[in-house]
Structure 1
Amino acid sequence: MSFIETEERQALRAAVAGLGAKYGPSYYVAKAKNGGKTDELWTEAGRLGYLGVNVPEEYGGGGGGIGDLAAVCEELAAAGCPLLLMVVSPAICATIIARSGTEEQKKHWLPRFADGSVKMAFAITEPDAGSNSHRITTTARRDGDGWTLNGQKTFISGVDEADAVLFVGRSQDQKGSLRPSLFIVPTDAPGFTSTPIEMEIVSPEKQFICHLDDVRLPYDALVGDEDGGLLQLFAGLNPERIMATAMAAGIGRYALDKSIAYAKDRQVFKTPIGAHQGIAHPLAQAKIELELARLMGQKAAWLYDEGDDMGAGEAANMAKYAAGEAAVRVVDQAIQTHGGNGLTTEYGVGMLAGAVRLMRIAPVSREMILNFVAQHSLGLPKSY
């Protein structure tokens, strides 16, 4: 692992940053507040190949790794256009299908992930299970030559703009035990319904409760093996954490850049406020913490792309924790640096508070990450 990104990765970042600047925060916020979608940005990013940088070349992608996709996600967020569905569709869903899908599933889905012509949501969280995947009650029952699914999911992102949802359910394996299984459910499937959840976050992507009521699927809706269990699922959850790290870091960079510009320009006592240590030191601290989080995120991506799933799991959790904490602090300091202006619509930093606060909760809470590190990294007894 090099601590300096390759020229190709740096060129990718520069190109994506240019695309993000073309749209910018005014475009993103207008879409979010008016109930619109960032379709134009998504379509152009797909056409330019940015959404498919991690898809294998034989299926129309760039043949890169999750580190490349994370770079795309971070640069768009740093330009004021954080795309939550990037964390879900090309990262989780495309990665799981590329790793575990049948050849027919790969040929059908991966080229469309690569060019951005398809979006797929991901559904694991349930009202009574939370982060405990062993308590999932969504079930898939063998029914003739197919499956019948029943269950409920909550806080599922982007269902209204997705073509399908990758559901985590439980099916009976060949030994009669219930194990996690993955199913592709078209959003227009009979028996599938979704209800929006009202949120306090300014984002074009909405959250939904999803219901499966006797949804009939063909056998090939199953992704991977019936006995694959958690291994297939974790193939997508580590990229999810890496992408969440990238998004949090990108939002943090955006808030920090706005704060720096304001601190250089704003004068109160005959000198820019950035000259005062009360402003300068917290911004410097924010910069340090963001860079540390980004470095751990790059380590996690490198380990994952090298095939070290165990090492990537630990690093991805640590990176996501670090980035979430850093992003919350930098946005809070951005608001403080702007004073009263930090809560105005014109300056656009106050609205970031909800978005980064979410990063301490999802896709996995800081407490569950601490549980993971305590148990797996430190070898302490399991607490739950």
Structure 2
Amino acid sequence: MTDTKSAELDSFRDSLRRMCAPFGHEYFLRTSADKGNARELWEALGAAGALGVLIPEEFGGGGAGIEELAIVSEETAIAGSPLMLISLSPAVCASMLVHHGSDEQKATWLPGLADGSKVLGFAITEPDAGSNTHNITTRARFEGGDWVLSGQKYYVSHVDNCDALMVVAQAESGPDDLPAGLKVFLVPTDAPGLTKTEISVDVISPELQYSLFFDDVRIPADAIVGAQDGLAILFTGLNPERISSAALLNGISRYAIDKAAEYARTRTVWNAPIGAHQAISHPLAHAETMLAGARLLTEKAARDHDAGVHAGVSAAMAKLSASEAASFALDAAIQTHGGNGMATEYGLATLSGLVRLFRIAPVSSEMLLNHIAHKALALPRSY
């Protein structure tokens, strides 16, 4: 990376850190309790151009890449307000539209995604499909010039907060000899026949989870995204999602370690700061080392992706290492605080559910290990 590029990224990070400062962990807890979707932070990020950094300039974006968007994810988390939505609307959905959307779809959606005035959700998970995307049973049939969707999706984030969903479904053969198979469709969240039910989860987050039912939801023929690209469109969005998720986790690690280190420097017991004791200092030093490794892997994955190098393995490694580092760092920070680590005012235990979630979603650690074993080590698959 050139010195100029490095200086630009440092400046971008500094400006983001100042912008995110008012949106700390107290804000995160308040907007989560109010089911407020962190709209104020989202709008501030949009106004600053942070949400559209990987969208081409012709559509109001920054024309940069996932490396810049990863910085946005990381810095919001460092401030104390980690937003999963950054890994979905600007990362997954915008990436798929940039690479596979029609001219009309790009003109309709990308400017709003860039400034934050429009939000897209991503609906792929199903109760019985698990990690096997090929087992998706939501169907799209072509009827009377429209697509008609039927089926169910599970654990779809922030449906209450988005304008439309990018829905993965098994399409029957369509117009113009379109082959059957997995396709992606843009479905408005207010489409007749689409119902949502909130799933109660023990995770503090402004982004709620929903179960969706599609009861013959009718959408126009041009709602399909990247029609001939089929399953390939998904891979355009999945690596950015993993890289952005890793960056968010790195931000949580930084947040937790910084709080713990400050506490260890100032909390005095038996006439000495507790940080002088190796039982306190060593776990934090270990957490710092794990974070450094996770950040390097995340940086490599982002640069691989932006350079057009296949980033599947590096993105998997980044997400895996970042989730393990964040789990260790948060636990060490809580332990450093003793009983205060469980107090809401110290803002640590309130992140436990979210950090644990990222070992399951958006892809489980076990599936990441499977991918690394198969692609990096040429080991056979059991599936």
Question: Normalization by structure 2: what TM-score?
Answer: 0.97
Q: Distance in 2 between matches of 1:3 and 1:86?
A: 27
Gaps of 5+ in 2: none
Partners in 2 of 1:179 and 1:276 — Cα distance?
60
Change in 2 beyond 3 A, CA 1:340/1:5: farther
Where do residues 126-275 of structure 1 align in structure 2 (5 Å cutoff)? 126-173=126-173, 178-225=180-227, 227-275=228-276
> How far apart are the structure 1 equivalents of 2:316 and 2:260?
28
Distance of 1:196 and 1:236 partners within structure 2:
25
State the match for 1:70 in structure 2: 70
Match of 1:351, SS?
A: helix
List gaps (5 residues or longer) in structure 1: none
* Aligned counterparts of 2:2 and 2:231: Cα–Cα separation in 1: 31
Deviation at 1:176, TM superposition (A): 8.4
1:197-246 alpha-carbon deviations (Å, 9 max, x no partner)? 00101111000001111000101100002x31221111000100001101
Instruction: Tell me how far 1:11 sits from its aligned partner.
Output: 0.9
1:97: Cα distance to partner?
Answer: 0.3
Would the alpha carbon gap of residues 2 and 361 (structure 1) be closer, same or farther in structure 2, given more than 3 Å must change? farther
Correspondences of 1:293-332 after superposition (within 5 Å): 293-308=294-309, 310=310, 312-332=311-331
Moved more, 164-173 or 277-286: 164-173
2:88 is equivalent to residue 88 of structure 1: yes
Task: Tell me the alpha carbon deviations over residues 30-58 of structure 1, each in whole angstroms, 9 at most, x when there is no partner.
Answer: 11123222111111110111111111001
Q: Is the 8 A contact 2:141 2:173 kept in 1?
A: no
Q: Is the 8 A contact 1:12 1:72 kept in 2?
A: no
Percent same amino acid at aligned positions? 51
Q: RMSD of the TM alignment (CA)? A: 1.5
1: CA distance, partners of 2:357 / 2:50: 25
Number of paired residues? 381
Q: Cα distance 1:285–1:5, how it changes in 2: closer, same or farther (>3 A)? A: farther
* CA distance in 2 between partners of 1:78 and 1:100 (Å): 33
Task: State the 1:172 CA deviation.
Answer: 2.9
CA shift for structure 1 position 376:
1.4
Question: 2: CA distance between counterparts of 1:57 and 1:4?
Answer: 20
Give the match for residue 379 of structure 1: 378
Superposition deviation, residue 291 in structure 1: 1.1
C-alpha deviations, 1:145-197, integer Å up to 9, x for none? 22001111111100001111100111135788642100000000001111000
Q: Structure 1 residues 285, 2: closer, same or farther in 2, change over 3 A?
A: farther
Measured in 1, the distance between the counterparts of 2:213 and 2:3 equals 45
Q: For each residue in 1:340-359, what CA deviation from the matched residue of structure 2 results, as whole angstroms up to 9, or x when unmatched?
A: 00001111111111111111
